[in-house]
Chain A
Amino acid sequence: MQPFLQQLCIILAVVLVAPLIGGLLNGVDRILTARLQGRYGPPLLQPFYDVIKLIGKERITVNSTQMLYVITSLFFAVLSLVMFALRQDLLMIVFVLAFSHIALIIGAMSVRSPYSKIGAQREIIQMMAYEPVIVLMVVGIYLITGSFMIDSVYAHPSQLALRLPLVFLAFLYVLTIKLRKSPFDLSTSHHGHQELIKGLTTEFSGLQLAVIELTHWYELVLLLGMITLFFAQPVVVYGIPIWIGGLVALGAFVFEIIIDNICARTSLAWMLKMTWLAGLGAAVTNIIWLYLATGR
């Protein structure tokens, strides 16, 4: 196949398959959460029912620009995932994903509801907390592979996690914030019984909420994909090559669900302090160690 056609196929596959995976993972999330709470839980396809229902609801718009921000958010999330699948520049992917979040924040800021606005402000502080850690993760990968391209990660002979263990842990920590799981579900939580109702998404309804949910699915797939980068090389067990990146990503996802269920929410200030202290601290330590060990 020609490279162009091949790329087109990858793009189509990503755009169509990623939401299916994201939705199924969300369904697993809800069932696991229910089981951890001693409940039976909804059917596996529940997230799809929710989104289809939301598409069919009456379209109430608070203002005319709200929809634009939501679609922009979806567009950048899909774009970053497509770039990831095409093994493009990792640093650029991180920035494009940040644009997706910023679009959602502006959308939440565009309405007059205080719940929505406070939710958006909290989301900004969350971004302030996790973005430096993610950028440091990219820097760490660059120090090892000598390139920002994901291609070079796959070309690298050894597992990145072996040389970036602390960066990997910091990324897991940040993943909880990015997935808006407890203890860091400050801007919006899965269940609407927080002091801000639904925070960031309070004023979005119907189709807009469905698009936001779809954005989350794409983002979830991308974030789990980033975990696989740390374990990009297959491990051969009894002559069978096992791609452990996918397994580790699924394990991390289950781990996040358990953390979500055993933690109470923290305060915003605590989150910011701990993320900068522990997250940034771990990542910087790892990078300093890389400098000293490799002499780069």
Chain B
Amino acid sequence: MSIMRNSRIKSPWIVHFDCNSCNGCDIETLACLTPMYDVERFGIINVGNPKHADILLVTGSANYRNARVLRNIYNQMPEPKAVVAIGVCACTGGIFRECYNVLGGIDQVIPVDVYVPGCSPKPEAIIDGVVLALEVLGKKEHPVATETEHEEVEHTQYA
């Protein structure tokens, strides 16, 4: 299925979730959409709807409150999907790592494919991370055969 693989790489739709970020990484992420960087030339659209998205961009560290929301968004995305952790907070927890309420990086909650370090990473680095995620997407099995009913998202309190 090379056409399918090709199309998947050329049409990554993105949903961006701000976990606990100081908005530094968010601003840099949205800067990618501006005429300066124009990620739409790679077919990237910021869809804002997890059900339409292929790549989840997460900024900020995971804590006890947002872990549930993050997992909910991740579960709503249809396969194949990739997750990019943007900024050092999303990668490891950053300077908030030792806080009593912080779990650490978002990989404590959902599987992460690409880590983009930096505080905050430049838009070039973010685009680089998304392109790396595209390679991950291209390698994933395409799950056409599986017809799954939408799983009930668990609302259990984390920890």
Contacts and interface: CB of A to CB of B under 8 A. Distances in A.
Interface of A: 30, 34, 37-43, 46, 48-50, 52-53, 55-62, 191-193, 197-198, 202-206, 209
Interface stretch (B2-10, B65-73, B99-107): B2-10
B40 A202 contact: no
Given A205-B51, A206-B78, A50 B43 contact: yes
Nearest to B35: A38
B48 A193 contact: yes
A56 B143 CA distance: 7
Interface in B38-71: 38, 40-43, 45-49, 51-52, 54
Interface stretch (B17-25, B110-118, B147-155): B147-155
Contact of A43 (B43, B46, B47, B52): B43
A57 B79 contact: yes
A60 B49 contact: no
B95 interface: no
B139 interface: no
Contacts of A50: 7, 11, 13, 43
Among B1, B42, B52, B76, the one with the most A-chain Cβ atoms within 10 Å of its Cβ is B52
Contacts, number: 103
Contacts of A48: 7
Given A52-B4, A53-B7, A56-B7, A39 B47 contact: no
Interface string B114-153: 0000000000000000000000000000111011111000
B46 A34 contact: no
Contact of A49 (B43, B78, B80): B43
Contact of B150 (A52, A62, A192): A62
A60 B148 contact: yes
Contacts of B47: 192, 198
Given A192-B48, A193-B48, A52 B3 contact: yes
Contacts of B143: 57-58
A214 to B, nearest CB: 15
Contacts of A56: 1, 4, 7-8, 142, 144
A27 B88 CA distance: 37
A58 B43 contact: no
18 contacts: A37-B35, A39-B35, A39-B40, A50-B7, A52-B3, A52-B7, A53-B7, A55-B144, A56-B142, A57-B143, A58-B79, A59-B146, A60-B76, A192-B47, A192-B48, A197-B49, A198-B52, A203-B51
